[in-house]
Structure 1
Amino acid sequence: MSWAGLMVAGALALSGQQDGSGAQAPDTGPVTDLGEIRADATLEQRARTFVQEAVAPPRGRRAARWNRDVCIRVANMDPQYAQFMIDRISDMAAELGLKPGEPGCRPNIIIASTNDGPLMAQALAGSMEADMRPVLGISDRGRAAFQAFQTSEAPVRWWHVSLPYDVDTGDLALGMMKVRQVSRLRSNTREDLARVMVILDVTKIGRVSFGALSDYVAMVVLTQADPDAETSTYDTILNLFRTDDRSAVLTDWDRDFLTALYSASRDRPRQSTLAREIAGRMADGQRRPDTTVDQP
């Protein structure tokens, strides 16, 4: 059985619920106006600090992103809510130039709800460690992060798997244990997300609108978001469970970040170089005439 099949089977067994698909979208709750952001000369540095704080690739690797296709499966959720979440994430993925999968596609994003997040995480880690950590030191954030995924009390937890690919041929480049540089300005490998697992603990999510939850999940499956990031001074959906606002949406800041990540060069030789490019593109997006930048 594939990793996706194992995860969904395990999720269903732990919850006794059914896989969700197709139906009318639910009421997503009110949309909150998060206000304007004031632009100034520190904008690019602020964006760079956000990228450094919010993105957590494996040690020594560059930030990964999906290369083209994403296929989402939501398990243990009422079908209409499951389909709404799939559609919300798929719409954002399409805006970034990705191709959302058709019904019946082989999932590379699995989202499962449960009433015991640690139990599900531990069960999946025990049965799927080889899939969740396929190339030690390259594909994931390491043993400590893997343990934290299993024991966290967070309402939403996630695990990313990324792999290096040859920039020119698209071939898997696992033989390159270190990124080989063509020059100081270019690497011949890129970092692609290969799969993402998300567990929603319904006992801890609380009174969060489903639209807000779906946007939060979209953010963490489309980028290697750091679950421990300190983002309280930024206007971002990543603060959903850290503030009193339970009906937030993806903000202009979030969208500019995702757009910058997915439009940045794939062959930057180092994470620091890539982060600078992403920050510059974010700043350009934030300087739109109708957008300003918040200060802490």
Structure 2
Amino acid sequence: MMRPFAVALFASVACFSAAPSFAQQAQSEDDIVVVGERLQEMVRTFVGEVAAAPSAERQMARWDHHICPLVAGLPARQMQYVADRIARRAHQVDIETDGPGCRANILIFVTPDAGRLATGIVDEYRTLVGYYSTSGLSTLGRGPLDDFTNSSAPVRWWHVNQTVSADGQELGGDNGTQVIRGGPPPSRLRRPTRQDFLRVLIIVDARQAEGIQLQALADYLAMVSLAQLDPEGQTVGTPTILNLFADRDAARPVPAGMTQWDEAYLEGLYTARRTASVDLWQRRDISRTMVEQLDPTAEAGSSN
């Protein structure tokens, strides 16, 4: 149950009191073709770097209907702002937010001792992080969980996914996949199951986040709440909120919020085929949607 977890974890949290745009010039048809091809390659590279899926399932997960963000470790008004910002971004991809008193499934903790909190959670709340090989649950695995625990990044995140039927029903049987009745048969391109997020745990290092604008931080947290992303993905040179801390540390202009690339990625994820046999097809769906939205004849940049 999430509420006891949330109460216990709250007690352990210590409190502490513009993206690039592309200039446009008149272009010939040949120029547009070249730019379009370059855009496609940039998008494929970006998706290949950031998209993550459990190797055992080889299917990308997403939220299904409702989220319930819980934020701890900031002043009350700032916590509410972050939660509201995540809700707004979720609404853009047709995911609604439950009301007050809901059971939290996005847990965000801001603390000056992020490493200690991460270690404590993984050691004491292993069910929360999907440590055990529980039927029907999937994560990126023990190695990435160790990376989460020992990370020195300003923000670390961990997703726990649930295998459900194609229409969202929880599965029965000993292995969580046996009892599937009705629906189309599996094929080379399609499975009778899909991956839904069950919960997301995010820890923000308060010291490393100091000086970051709250809107930018909130959009960063929204991005990693709504998508399972590779924390080792290389995104330098791509207009994305994921470069927030790297740009700050390198004294480059930092994004003010999610960029059109980020919004296009989320749109691609939340419109991709959910029962794809392997995540390759989902990555292609995301890339296709991104290219359609990032029209090279239109401006790209941050969206507030």
Q: TM-score, normalised by structure 2?
A: 0.84
* 1:145 alignment partner in structure 2: 144
Distance 1:181 1:277, change over 3 A: farther
In 2, the alpha carbon distance for the partners of 1:62 and 1:37 equals 37
Q: Choose from 270, 275, 299 the match for 1:291.
A: 299
Unaligned runs of 5+ in 2: 25-34, 179-183
The Cα of 1:254 is off from its aligned counterpart by 0.5
Contact 2:126 2:132 in 1 (8 A): no
* 1:50 alignment partner in structure 2: 46
* 2:273 alignment partner in structure 1: 265
RMSD: 2.5
Q: Choose from 67, 71, 88 the match for 1:70.
A: 67
What pairs with 1:110-129 in structure 2 (closer than 5 Å)? 110-129=107-126
In 2, the alpha carbon distance for the partners of 1:37 and 1:74 equals 38
Contact 2:36 2:296 in 1 (8 A): no
In 1, the alpha carbon distance for the partners of 2:161 and 2:293 equals 27
In 1, the alpha carbon distance for the partners of 2:262 and 2:268 equals 10
* 2:240 alignment partner in structure 1: 236
Contact 2:131 2:142 in 1 (8 A): no
Unaligned runs of 5+ in 1: 19-31
SS at match of 1:84: helix
The Cα of 1:273 is off from its aligned counterpart by 1.2
Per-residue deviation, residues 203-224 of structure 1 (Å, max 9, x unmatched): 1113210110000000001000
The Cα of 1:292 is off from its aligned counterpart by 5.9
Task: Tell me the amino acid that sits aligned with residue 59 of structure 2.
Answer: R
Per-residue deviation, residues 184-242 of structure 1 (Å, max 9, x unmatched): 22111111111001111111113210110000000001000111110102110000010
SS at match of 2:125: helix
* Percentage of pairs with the same residue: 32
Q: Choose from 195, 202, 208 the match for 1:198.
A: 202
* 2:176 alignment partner in structure 1: 175
Distance 1:80 1:59, change over 3 A: same
Contact 1:121 1:149 in 2 (8 A): yes
Distance 1:234 1:259, change over 3 A: same
